[in-house]
Structure 1
Amino acid sequence: MRYELSDLRLFLEIAQARSLTAGAAAVFITPSAASYRLKNLEQALGTALFERTPRGMDLTPAGDAMLLHVRELFEGVERMQSDVGRFISGVKGHVRLIANSSSLNGFVTPTLGRFLVAYPGIDAEIEERQSETIPAAVLAREADVGIFAGPSSVQGLATHPYAVDRLVIVTPRDHVLASQSSLCLGAALEFDFVCMARTSSNYLFLRDTAQKYGKTVRARLHAHGFDAVLSLVAAGVGIALMPRSVLGGRLQPDQVAVLPLDEPWALRELSLVVRQDARFPGFITEFVNFLLEDPQVAMTRA
């Protein structure tokens, strides 16, 4: 049985987006053409790959099985392109990274920028997720590289220590908490918070941790970035839970106070994972080394 790579790419894009329209747009065809090609692919296989629901395109069990093979197939294609690329000018490729908000904003982005400048033929796809979901997503080939905080029991991954960070409470300079040298989250939860977006891993972590204290987060508003959160805290809107790594040049010492949290979980050990059985093209291996060897990241591990 013969399969067209273009049809398999279409299947992959639809599966990842859970949308026929988005999948069609990703391969630059119309939704009607995509529907026709997907129907032909399902007929050739003799089984349905998707269940059409009001929420979108959900994979059937057969579709889930096929997705693993198709991801592996395109990894092989990228390895082939990388190997052949050594004999021509330039290297072409695509790398997929998923990470929690702290690592993305505090460590990953500057390193990624330098990598993309050094490798102009490489494109990157970045997605923020909760730490708890990242190891399983990497194992399922939803990304090449994952960076997350905390432990993981997922088997089949190669794990590298990435960075060490600490969660802190940031308050307005004249806030009642500002004079304290440190505090517990339970005490901070008595006050109004400025939070990241509701889908942000930073906010979800704060919400879930507050529930363990039997409390809820008094969120006055949700901002779409740490810069906005810090600015609103400085303006006196509320306090915030932030990773110390993202403060850097954003910190305004005359307007905010930074208070360490007296909680064991506030010290965040970040790990970088890839699949143990991954046979990556050279540029992805180089990307992993770029991330791990960045001096500003490596110094936190010391």
Structure 2
Amino acid sequence: MHFDLADLRLFIHIAESPSLTQGARRAFLSPAAASARIKALEGQLGTRLLYRDSRGIELTEPGQQLLVHARRIMRQVDYLKAEFTQLGSDESGHIRIFANTTAVTEFLPEVLSGFLAQRAGVTVDLQEKLSRDIVRGVLDGSTDMGIIAGPVNAAGLEVLHFSTDYLVLAVPEGHPLAGKSKVKLGETLDYQHICLHEGSTLLTFLRDHVEQLGRELHMRIQLSSFEAICRMIEGGVGIGIIPESAARRHSRTMNLVTVQLDEEWALRERSVLVRELEALPSVVRALIDTLRQSQ
């Protein structure tokens, strides 16, 4: 059974009008053409839908049932049209983002607050993920975009660089490493570290490099933000490896000393990952543009 949307809309016009003639006029059809289409619809359904007499039209019981379903179908069609019309605008829509720890806790809140304040119709689902899960999510379509730092194996994806950051060692004033201009990772492992929570991208990244040295990362406490880590470092609880951008920001209000890490991997290129930039909805491309301009 095949339903023509035009026939369903015509049936609604006729059912809501006092006569077939007026219903046909609302559908921009002649009465004869409208009558023929209703008869064809009745033939397809195998039942009579309405009676016509000098007083106008009267729906049969099957006609009443069809009217309920036809209204529901056409309402859903209107919703569908509205939703896909909005996809062509950057003023509304939903964006899912998979991002690393630094992005989630440091710069994305500021970027998103400005972006969303100007677009009341936009919603965002921001999830912190490991780099490998970010890549996988973009590849399989689980997320609209991914934000990572450092080298990435992203065959089949577009990698859009937007800023550069460095990992540095943060120590309290007077610490034995505070007077050095550069340190190797191995030099820091004799001290207790303040680290991010389990599952964070940065912690996983550091553990991988510590294991390559055949050493162990001694963690005194794990926290959920760089601000909390810096407060612990300031208090002399331990030392920590954090992004330079976070260290610079928190050094304005805390007594911290930062030391450059003498490691190639300390340079962290930040990138947005997408499957195909031009195929993304306008609202997602607008956010990517905002992100690239803000850094």
1:94 Cα deviation after fit: 0.9
Could you tell me which residue of structure 2 aligns to residue 110 of structure 1? 110
8 A Cα contact 1:98 1:128, kept in partner: yes
What is the SS of the residue equivalent to 2:222? strand
Q: How does 1:130-141 map to 2 (within 5 A)?
A: 130-141=130-141
Residue from 54, 71, 85 that aligns with 1:83: 85
Q: Which amino acid aligns with 1:242?
A: I
Aligned residues: 218
Question: How far apart, in 1, do the equivalents of 2:167 and 2:261 lie?
Answer: 7
Could you tell me which residue of structure 1 aligns to residue 261 of structure 2? 261
Could you tell me which residue of structure 2 aligns to residue 238 of structure 1? 238
Could you tell me which residue of structure 2 aligns to residue 95 of structure 1? 95
Could you tell me which residue of structure 1 aligns to residue 198 of structure 2? 198
1:252 Cα deviation after fit: 4.8
Question: How far apart, in 2, do the equivalents of 1:192 and 1:108 lie?
Answer: 29
1:120 Cα deviation after fit: 1.3
8 A Cα contact 1:82 1:282, kept in partner: no
8 A Cα contact 1:79 1:280, kept in partner: no
179-188 vs 285-294, which moves further: 285-294
Identity %: 29
Larger radius of gyration: 2
Q: How does 1:216-227 map to 2 (within 5 A)?
A: 216-227=216-227
Q: Aligned pair in 2 of structure 1 residues 79, 131: CA closer, same or farther (>3 Å)?
A: farther
Could you give the per-residue CA deviations for residues 96-121 of structure 1, whole angstroms, max 9, x where no partner exists? Answer: 11111123333322111111111111
Could you give the per-residue CA deviations for residues 59-87 of structure 1, whole angstroms, max 9, x where no partner exists? Answer: xxxxxxxxxxxxxxxxxx99962524779
2:188 matches 1:188: yes
1:246 Cα deviation after fit: 1.6
2:125 matches 1:155: no
What is the SS of the residue equivalent to 2:153? coil
Q: Which amino acid aligns with 1:209?
A: H
8 A Cα contact 1:79 1:282, kept in partner: no
Could you give the per-residue CA deviations for residues 189-222 of structure 1, whole angstroms, max 9, x where no partner exists? Answer: 1110011111211211111111111111100011
Could you give the per-residue CA deviations for residues 124-153 of structure 1, whole angstroms, max 9, x where no partner exists? Answer: 111111223322211111111111122333
Q: Aligned pair in 2 of structure 1 residues 250, 277: CA closer, same or farther (>3 Å)?
A: closer
1:237 Cα deviation after fit: 0.3
Question: How far apart, in 1, do the equivalents of 2:213 and 2:112 lie?
Answer: 37
1:285 Cα deviation after fit: 1.4
Structure 2: where are the runs of 5+ without partners? 2-78
